[in-house]
Structure 1
Amino acid sequence: MKNTIDILNREFSRQNYSDEQACNSDMAELKGVASNYARIENAIAVLSDLRADMSYICYGGFANIFGLGKDVKEGTFESIWEKDIFSRIHPDDLDRKHAQELCFFHFIKQQPRQKRRDYYLMSKLRMRTATNSYIPVMHRMFYIFGKSGETLRMALCLYSPLIADFQAGCLIIDSSDGHIIETEKQDNDSILSAREKQILGLIDKGMTSKDIAEMLYISINTVSRHRQDILGKLQVKNSIEACRIAKELKII
C-alpha cells in the first residue's frame, strides 16, 4: 500500500497548480457540498486539498456505526490520507482502494479536459464497526479539477451504506449519461504501445539503452525516444517510477 500512496503523492505534487487561487476561492463552497452530503445522506464526507495536503471531514449519522461520529471530531486535518477512516477499512480492501484510485487517476488523465469532471469512482469496501464486525460500505470518489480542466486540485470521498450490491468490485461512472466501466475490464494496456511495453519490460530487467538497441536491432536514439514517450504517458520523471506504475496498472 505504501508504494501506491507514494506514487499517488508524486503524481499529485508534480501537477501545475497555477490555477490554485481560483480554486481556493471555491473552497468554502466545496466545504458546503461536503457538509450537505454528510447531512442529507448521513455519509462520511472527506474533501481533500491535494496541493495543501489537507482534508476537511464531515461525519453524518453513518459514522456512529464506526465510532467516528462521537469519538473523533470533524474538521480540518493536515493530510489527504484520512487515517481514522483508513484504520477501519479491511486491509485487503484498503490496498485495492489505493490501487483503484491510481488507475482512476490515469484513466481521467486520458480523457478530454471537458469530460474529466463527469467521471467518478465507485467501489465497495468492508469497514470495521465499533463492535469489531465488518460491514459492506459504498465508497465514491470525485476528482475536482481547476478551471483549466488540467490540474486535479481536490478529491471528495463519500462513505455510505451499501444499499444495493454490485458484482464488480470497482466501477467508473460517467455521471453525464450513466455509462459504467468496470475497472477490471479497463484497457490499461492501451496506455503504452506494444513496443513501449516491450522496452519498459526490458528496462525493468535492468537492461541499458545500448543493450535494448542491440537486442531489438534499433538505434539508441529510437530507444531514447521510446523512453521519453513512456515517461510522458505515465507522467513520471524516471524509469524506476515508470516500472512501478506500469506494474500497479498491470501493464508489465
Structure 2
Amino acid sequence: MKPEKELLESIWESSREHLSPESADIDLVQLDNQLSSIFTSGSSYFFIIGFDDMQLKHVSPSVRNVLGMDPEQMALQDILDRIHPEDFEFVTHAEKAAFDLIFARIPIEKRKNYKVSYCFRCKTADGSYQLFNHQAMILAADSAGRLIKSLCVHTSIEHLTAQNNHRISLIGMSEEPSFLNLDVFQVNQPKAISGPNFSEREIEIIRLMSRGMTSRDIAEVLCIAPNTVKNHRKNILNKSGCKNAGELITRCITDGLL
C-alpha cells in the first residue's frame, strides 16, 4: 500500500472513537429517502460502507458504467486505488475535517440531517481522470452517536468544471444550518456559516434550473407564476454573485450546496 493510502487509513483509525463496532440492517425506505436528498448532475454511483469492518455493504450497478468495475466484487480499496495521486493529501485532510465538523459541531440527534461534500479526481472506466463530487451522509449510528453505516455518492462533474476548489462543505438538510466552502485546514476555527443563504424555495428552483428547465417549466412544476420564478432567479444570482445560471450551478455543486 502506498504511503498516501496509509495516511488516509490512519485518519480513519485515529477517528475510531467515532466509529461503532456494531452492525445494522438498512431500511430500504430510509435509503430511498436518503438518496432523494442527494443531488446528482452527471454519471454517478453510490455505495454503503460499514464502519465495523470498513467493508462495502452495497454498491450500485451503475459503477459498471462509471468505473468499469463489478459491483459484487468491488472493495473500498478499489476506490482508493482510483483516486488521483495528487489528490490523496487533500482527500485525507477532507476526511479528517469531516469527522471534526460532524462530531465537534453537530449534536448527536441532528447528525443524520447533514451530508458532507467535497471533490476529487477519480480514474474512470475509459482510463481518464474526471472530477467527482463526493457526498456522504449517516445511515445508522449507535446510542453513543458513533457511526455504523454511511451512504456515499460519487458524481462526475467534469462536464461542469475540471477545477477542484479544494474545500469541504457540511450541508444541513431539514432546515439545519450549513457550513459551506471551508478550508480543510481551518474547520476548527469558530467561523460563521459561509456562502449565500438560500431559502428552501430558492434551492428548489436552483435544482430545477440545474436540469435545464426554463422559468416557464419551473413555474408549472411549482405551480407558481413565471414572473415569480424570474424574480427568484434574479434574487438567487444577486445572492450568489454569479453572472449566469451556468456559473451558479457549477458553484453550487462544487461548494456542496446541491
Alpha-carbon offset, residue 31 of structure 1: 7.2
Query: Is residue 88 from structure 1 mapped to residue 82 from structure 2 by the alignment?
Result: yes
User: Which residue type is aligned with residue 82 of structure 2?
Assistant: R
Aligned runs of 1:1-252 on 2, under 5 Å? 1=4, 2-12=6-16, 14-15=17-18, 17=20, 20=22, 24-26=24-26, 43-61=44-62, 63-68=64-69, 73-75=70-72, 82-110=76-104, 111-146=106-141, 148=143, 150-162=145-157, 164-165=160-161, 168-169=165-166, 170-177=168-175, 179-184=178-183, 186-189=186-189
SS in 2 for 1:131: coil
Contact 2:119 2:164 in 1 (8 A): no
The CA RMSD over aligned residues, in Å, is 3.6
Q: 128-137 or 27-36, which moves further after superposition?
A: 27-36
- With over 3 angstroms needed to count, the CA separation of the structure-2 counterparts of 1:42 and 1:132, relative to structure 1, is closer
- With over 3 angstroms needed to count, the CA separation of the structure-2 counterparts of 1:16 and 1:67, relative to structure 1, is closer
Select the structure with the greater relative contact order (CA < 8 A; seq sep ≥ 6). 2
Alpha-carbon offset, residue 48 of structure 1: 0.9
Contact 2:24 2:149 in 1 (8 A): no
TM-score of the aligned structures, taking structure 2 as reference length: 0.55
Per-residue CA deviations over 1:149-186 (Å, capped at 9, x if unaligned) read 61111122111121655873332211233734223075
Per-residue CA deviations over 1:46-98 (Å, capped at 9, x if unaligned) read 21110133212424436424322xxxx22376x6xx12222222112233112
How many residue pairs match? The answer is 178
Runs of 4+ in 1 over 3 A off after TM superposition: 14-18, 25-37, 59-63, 163-168
- With over 3 angstroms needed to count, the CA separation of the structure-2 counterparts of 1:115 and 1:76, relative to structure 1, is farther
TM-score of the aligned structures, taking structure 1 as reference length: 0.57
Percent of aligned pairs with the same residue?
A: 18
Return the structure number with greater helix share.
1
* Whole-Å separation in 1 of the counterparts to 2:73 and 2:32: 13
* Unaligned runs of at least 5 residues, structure 1: 191-252
